[in-house]
Amino acid sequence: MDFQTLALIVVAVGAGSVAKGATGMGMPLIAIPILASLIGLQHAICVLIVPILVSNAWQIWDFRRARTDQRLAFLVPMLVACSVGVGIGTWFLTTVPERGLALTLGLLLLGYLVLRLANPHFTLGPDLARRWALPAGLGAGVLHGSTGISAPIGVTFIHAMRLGRDAHVYATSVMFLLLGISQALSLWLAGVLRPEWLVQSAFALLPTFLFMPLGQWLAAKLSSTAFDRMILVFLGVIGVKSVLGL
């Protein structure tokens, strides 16, 4: 591994880990666009595999008490649909030109920002959540398999339920862990996951362990509104960059 690639991994995964530690999400949203702009989308997705698996297993354990929340009944059908969607998305990743996927990623990031700004108080009730769990899970899986990012669908869906912080972090972490496992298997079967990229993914655990605690510390110092706005501004810049191909 050359020094430039290692430095890029530290910066991208470190930034994503700060967001992950503070909000329970954000690692792929931040790290993949940064990595993809310099090393390509397939490579970027592979580098994030190990950090995604480890960081979400970590948070599932930390927030395990929330698993008894009755409002999380939607998770099982959603996770099944996520697994199916990842396989479909991986096919897109290996067949669609990378510029098309980068453009899609940028548009989805900007769409995610519009949804967050236009409907800040929308609430999805438990009954409606169970009804929409399958299509939401399928969409999140397809998006994750093709771009490495499921938040524009998956996190928006969970966020709309207005769960408490513990239940929200637990639900998103379970979803991300399942998506990560399914994606790793799909990429291996598709012949995309190279051994050297897997080594780089293992190296990416270093900034993950270093910067996730920093995110947790920042969350205690900053208001959730202020930190959320910082993330949204950053994602907006990355979305515009991806759409314009800069």
Domain-by-domain residue ranges, the chain? 3-244
Q: Three-state DSSP class for 163?
A: coil
CA–CA separation, 92 vs 11, rounded Å? 28
State CA 162 to chain mean position distance.
19
Q: Distance between CA 48 and CA 137 in Å, rounded? A: 20
Longest dimension (CA), the chain: 51
Tell me how far apart the alpha carbons of residues 25 and 173 are, in angstroms, rounded to a whole number.
8
Give 3-state DSSP helix, strand, coil % of the chain, rounded to 5. Answer: 85, 0, 15
pLDDT tens-place values along the chain, 246 residues long: 678 888 889 999 999 998 888 777 778 878 888 898 888 888 998 999 999 999 999 989 988 999 888 888 889 999 999 999 998 988 888 887 767 777 777 787 787 778 777 776 666 666 777 788 898 899 889 888 887 777 777 877 887 787 777 888 899 899 999 998 988 988 898 888 899 999 999 999 999 999 999 888 877 776 767 766 766 676 677 677 677 765
Alpha carbon of 93 to those of 87, 136, 194, 220: distances in Å?
10, 20, 15, 38
Contacts of 92 (CB under 8 A, 6+ apart): 101, 142, 145, 146
The pTM of the full predicted model, rounded to 2 decimals, is 0.78
The residues, ordered by sequence, that sit 6+ positions from 192 with a Cβ below 8 Å of its Cβ are 42, 46, 90, 93, 94
